Chains A and B, each alone.
Chain A
Amino acid sequence: MIKTNKDKLITLAVSGEVVPAQVVRTYETTWDGKAKLCIGVGGINYNLKIGGKIFGWANGDRAEPGVCSDNTESSSRANGYRQKSCLGNIAKIISGEAKGAKGYVVGKHGYRLPGGAQHTLLHFDDETLEKMTIGDKILVKACGIGLKIEGYEDVMIWSLGPNLLDAMGIEDKEGKLHVPVVKEIPAELMGEGWGTGAHSSHIGIQTCYPPDIEKYGLEELRFGDLVYLKDILSDWGRHHYRGGATIGVVVSGPSDVSGRGIGITTILSSKEGKLAPVIDPKANIGRHLGFLE
């Protein structure tokens, strides 16, 4: 078991709303110069779910699971919603027919999405999804900024709620945090999202070189899976750093656009090699949060 400072964290209300699907009517251009109508970003994606497969969706390109939300009042308020919402935080619907229903924050995805969108991804049960619509207001009880693990204060934590951290099955052994993950991803596969602030948005596993998909078993990944990004540091900006490591969560499907691919929200980062992967095919935040069998 790990000990944290969770009793010292500030919990704040941040608000957003369900945002529309984003589609580029003139098509996007794939790595090999072909036009593609890319879909799956924004709105409510009913059949893409935490625990579901990320590959194989027709015309999908960085497709997102579940409900996509953001704050559309001003850029400052949008930043507040995007930065402070953490994976595992409770999201409550506060307007519309599904008012009162609760779900979870399950992802942050936002590097160069169509329409300049940035999304805080939410999970709600199927019954609730049927009642929801675009524009429904969401309140997130944001909690996680400043979260630290006792004895590992140099391990950076971003976008991670204390309830999810506690449920991840992390073990403190021989001076390292052993984190169950589905896969280890080498740094050379990483693409979009380099150089972005680590507190929001995402970094991507490139899928524009098709042989990588089979070689690294990327097709096995599912929405919500935990992954270990080797030699990637996500302390202050996401970048290559030999000996560093980042733990992230799969939040989007693959892409056919050059440099783009499977979206990963980064949640733990260590410059000094304090994170060790333990391969566990069931390491998925849906299970950790208790809504996935």
Chain B
Amino acid sequence: MRPLLKTNKEKLIQTAVQAVIQPTGGRGFGTSWEGKAKMSLGTATINYTVSVGDPTWGYANDDHVEPDVTCQGRDKPSASDCAVAILACIGNEARVVSGDAKGAKGVYIGRHAGADELLWFPKEVLEDMAPNDKIHIKTEGCGLEIEGFEDVKLNKMSPRLLESLGVTVEDGKLVVPIAATIPGWILGAGAGYDASVETVDYDIQTTCPEVTEELNLKNLRLGDVIAITDHYDAWGRGRYMGAITIGVVVHGFSSGGGHGPGVNPIMAALPGKIVTKHDPDANIAYLLGLREKP
């Protein structure tokens, strides 16, 4: 048994927040990077087809496809200002508190700014859910630190997720298992949006077919734990040579110029603090026990 990292988890404030299942909207046609009209599907509401662990692309008319159940806070006029947007961490427990699925439990799996809060529930629970059902989340993770690595910024990281990642320490560095390494230069929409890493994801651009093939972006799955090289996403999202950001893939491909699979940064470090090792099973669906490994 490998020794667990020491953290300050017993000092974390546990706070209740609430969100509702966000009804899907419709804005007519969008425009693809090639200037074509597209009726895009896959954001907001309950997605019966796509779940965390599934591919990030390949569904009919998909664009920014979100797995499972998408919710939104209602306690402020803007969803990104709501408590759930800032405090909910990947791995936090969710509970349905209204509607036919009342009492069912699920897990917070990330945030796609604009749609917004992503939650996993067992398939059978989805059948009893409906838009506007209320979800209660017991949040925990804001302020989490790893002892001896206080300068490694953790974000949207519950103690449960951190303990499941299989992070070890070798030669004074954190060794993080990841499913893929993505170079920072291909990260697009959401870079420079603001300094808030809690509320904003950013996209791996899938709108240059040659680069999409070269970087094997079609291998990415929803929930994959990935490394972004040469980006330091501690206070915003942007370039820093030699830095490493670890992220979780939260939504799927896009044909909108500059868009693609979205990433929530969960760890960010300046050069020399984090190394990675490849593990094809580094996906939160497996790590959090939401589905069986294949």
Q: A29-B235, A209-B239, A240-B185 are contacts. A257–B195 as well, Cβ < 8 Å?
A: yes
Cβ B34 vs Cβ A257 within 8 A: no
B257 at the interface (CB under 8 A from A): yes
- Count A-B pairs with CB separation below 8 Å: 139
Tell whether A209 pairs with B195 under 8 Å between CB atoms, given A194-B188, A235-B257, A240-B185: no
Known A-B contacts A188-B184, A237-B257; A112 and B234 likewise in contact (beta carbons under 8 Å): no
List the B side residues contacting A209 at CB < 8 Å: 238-241
Give the chain A neighbours of B34 by CB distance below 8 A.
235-236
Chain B residue nearest to A255 (CB atoms) is: B192
Please state if B257 and A238 are interface contacts (CB–CB under 8 Å).
yes
Do the beta carbons of A258 and B211 come within 8 Å of each other?
no
Chain B interface category by residue count: 35 or more
Contact A29 B236 (CB under 8 A): yes
What's the least CB distance linking B43 to chain A, in Å? 15
Given A204-B192, A235-B35, check contact A258 B257 (CB 8 Å): no
Interface size of A by CB at 8 A reads 40
Asked if B194 and A242 make an inter-chain contact with CB atoms under 8 angstroms apart, the answer reads: no
> Taking the nearest CB of chain A, how far is it from the CB of B151, in angstroms?
10
CB–CB B184/A239 < 8 A: no
The main secondary structure of chain B at its interface with chain A is loop
Bound CA–CA A111/B33 (angstroms): 19
Verify if A52 is at the interface (C-beta below 8 Å from B).
no
Complex contact B207–A237 (CB within 8 A): yes
A235, B257: Cα distance in complex, Å? 9
Cα(A33)–Cα(B211), bound, Å: 32
Distance from A270 Cβ to chain B, minimum over Cβ atoms (Å): 14
Type the 1/0 row for A220-261, where 1 means its CB is closer than 8 Å to any CB of B. Answer: 000000000000010111111111000000000001011111
Q: 11 extra interchain contacts, Cβ-Cβ under 8 A, other than A194-B189, A198-B257?
A: A31-B234, A193-B192, A209-B239, A235-B34, A237-B31, A238-B257, A239-B258, A240-B208, A258-B232, A260-B192, A260-B236
Q: Chain B interface (Cβ within 8 Å of chain A)? A: 31-35, 184-195, 203, 205, 207-208, 210-211, 232-241, 256-259
